[in-house]
Structure 1
Amino acid sequence: MEAVEVVPSGDGVIPSCPEVSIVVPMFDEAESVSDLVARVGEAMQASGRSFELLAVDDGSRDGTPALLRQLARERPWLRPVCLARNYGQSCALQAGFDRVRGSYVVTLDADLQNDPLDIPGLLDRLDAEPELDSLSGWRQNRQDKALSRKLPSMLANRLISRTTGLQLHDYGCALKAYRRPIVDRIRLYGELHRFLPLLAHDAGARIAEVPVRHHARAKGQSKYGIDRTFRVVLDLVLVLFFLRYRQRPLHAFGGLGLWLATPGALILAWLFAQKLAGEAIGGRPLLLAGVMLVLVGLQLVVAGLIGEVMMRIYYESGGGRQYHLREEPETPEAKL
């Protein structure tokens, strides 16, 4: 992914390590970006925390990058990141995550349906509860007028909670806060931004849900359509496979292969017994079914073995760790 970061040239000092990094992906949001920057600045300056706003432009065609550069000249805390083309929201978020410098990372949408005034409250709770690693916003009083957005979202949230075991009311809320180590462990691909709480949970995060304000969209147009519901289902299948079988692909492919090969082998054994008894089996469809089940089952087992070999090569060559350590606060006794 190619990206150009625009360094602010206005007066002021940018903290080398700000306390908070706010990541906002945006695409064709020229109508709302000025209000967004102003409201984020007001909310964070009133909180007294040092911060940076990483505005990631995802290949906008409406002048958003030029507007971000103009705003950055007077705001040292604004860091525009302009992608070479439109890659999608997941890549835009990852581009921001790759550049964060704060101890806390907050994500936010650019359409101002979430309220930046909620950000300090999320950070205060993370300060007060060190056992939490992430807070996920819950649009309890959602202001979207279109039923085509509310109903699919409600069904998707219930489906995800039921199939994954992570009980959240609102996976789609963009307003979330993380401790920096959790973000450093996450890599986003495709359209997995919808499942950030699941990826954070897989990275060891302890997550709580917090009701946040939600406003009707006042400017610009929504980028989501009804087709998103079908993509969510497909992405959920990918995430479930990734979370459950990433380190043991043989259990997934091999298990399915055995489920198919076992009845196929029983069919062939029964037909073989009938053949020994003198019956003709050459023209029976059941023979073809048995052979196909055994062959497909064996192919899946072999695919699982290949996956195991690739997984071991990846980890043993230093491609990543199979685990994450939990960083506990240091106690006075530990220092002695």
Structure 2
Amino acid sequence: MPQISVVIPLYNEIGNVGPLCAALAAALGSADVEIIIVDDGSRDGSSAALDREAEQRGEQFKIIHLQRNFGQTAAMQAGIDASRGEVIVTLDGDLQNDPQDILPLAQRLLAEDLDVVAGWRKNRQDGLLLRKIPSRVANRLIRRITGVWLHDYGCTLKAYRASVLKGVRLYGEMHRFIPAWLATLTYTDRIVEMPVRHHPRRAGQSKYGITRTFRVLVDLIFVKFFLGYSQRPMHFFGTIGLGFLSLGSLMLLYLFIIKFALGVEIADRPMLIAGVLFFLAGLQFLNTGVLGEMLARIYHESQDKKTYVVRGTVHLEPPA
């Protein structure tokens, strides 16, 4: 059983396959590490190149070929599922992350008994307008919304404790927010960051663009809801519903009083329509909260989904 599993999702990186495998072999050498490269349906010859590298470099390298391009998150989950190490380190396959940083991150995680050590590209080698500025804006928003204060959420190079990482399932675009998801299973002070090297892209083309920032903003809405209310949706929808219901009730009560106590005509008042709408909206939000609670209960019971992660167990046998 290897102590460290390195998971690398890779898509159409034919120019980087050879240098990447050479750099990994040089950085990890004879360390107790397995290297899992997930070919995410590449169609530029990367698949054959990875197979040749694996045959040449031996059993330390493991190649997983996906049927088609499922996206970085799915490829990362495939590698995590196949990993056997106590520590899982993820990094990109474009050689902008430096394989020399893998062992320092894993060693710090083990030495300080942490759950996540995230890489921080302190001296980032990317374009200012299309990469650095959007990334800074996105990172600031993610920090404020999730409460996990990392400088660089976009850096794939991170070390995780396998028992914690395997407590969540990755789908959609969740790979950007893994530390935030793990904050639901561990304390935030067990999630730290560490400066790592960053290099300009040597070959191939970046798979990211300015549109990624907008996708992050949309995903953050779901992340905020999931982190705070996935197991208690009634608290989210119910709070909004009670607010609308109270506001609508006050409006209607006011109109009722002036209608029957003062004889004022209310049929042509906009407040009447607004009060009815707020009242009905409040009822709808409360109904949505009830349905959410039922769905959450059905999900956890049918999937036998645990809401906790066990770090370890101590059981002392009584003396004979």
Q: Which residue of 2 aligns with 1:201?
A: 183
Label 1:180 to 1:335 Cα distance change in 2 as closer, same or farther (>3 A). farther
Q: Which residue of 2 aligns with 1:249?
A: 233
Residue 306, structure 1, aligned to residue 291, structure 2: yes
Give runs of aligned pairs for residues 176-325 of structure 1, distance below 5 A. 176-204=158-186, 206-276=190-260, 277-325=262-310
* C-alpha distance in 1 between matches for 2:239 and 2:299: 22
The share of aligned pairs that are identical, in percent, is 50
Stretches of structure 2 that go unaligned for 5 or more consecutive residues are: none
TM-score, normalization: structure 2?
Answer: 0.93
Partner letter of residue 244 of structure 1? G
Partner letter of residue 278 of structure 2? L
The Cα offsets for residues 69-103 of structure 1, whole Å up to 9 and x where unpaired, read as 22221222221111112111111111111111111
What is the total number of aligned residue pairs between the two structures? 315
Q: Among residues 129, 134, 155, which one is paired with 2:116 in the alignment?
A: 134
Stretches of structure 1 that go unaligned for 5 or more consecutive residues are: 1-16
Cα RMSD between the aligned structures?
A: 1.8
* C-alpha distance in 2 between matches for 1:216 and 1:89: 20
Between stretches 73-82 and 246-255, larger displacement belongs to 73-82
* C-alpha distance in 2 between matches for 1:78 and 1:31: 19
The Cα offsets for residues 262-297 of structure 1, whole Å up to 9 and x where unpaired, read as 111111111111221322222222211111111111
Partner letter of residue 271 of structure 1? L
Partner letter of residue 252 of structure 1? F
Q: CA deviation at 1:224?
A: 0.8
Mapped contact 1:204–1:326 kept (Cα < 8 A) = no
TM-score, normalization: structure 1?
Answer: 0.89
Q: CA deviation at 1:192?
A: 0.9
Q: Among residues 78, 93, 96, which one is paired with 2:79 in the alignment?
A: 96
Give runs of aligned pairs for residues 21-36 of structure 1, distance below 5 A. 21-36=5-20
Between stretches 234-243 and 270-279, larger displacement belongs to 270-279
Q: Which residue of 2 aligns with 1:155?
A: 137
Q: Which residue of 2 aligns with 1:326?
A: 311
Q: CA deviation at 1:334?
A: 8.6
* C-alpha distance in 2 between matches for 1:67 and 1:150: 32
Partner letter of residue 324 of structure 1? V
* C-alpha distance in 2 between matches for 1:115 and 1:335: 50
* C-alpha distance in 1 between matches for 2:270 and 2:258: 14
Partner letter of residue 65 of structure 1? S
Q: Which residue of 2 aligns with 1:50?
A: 32
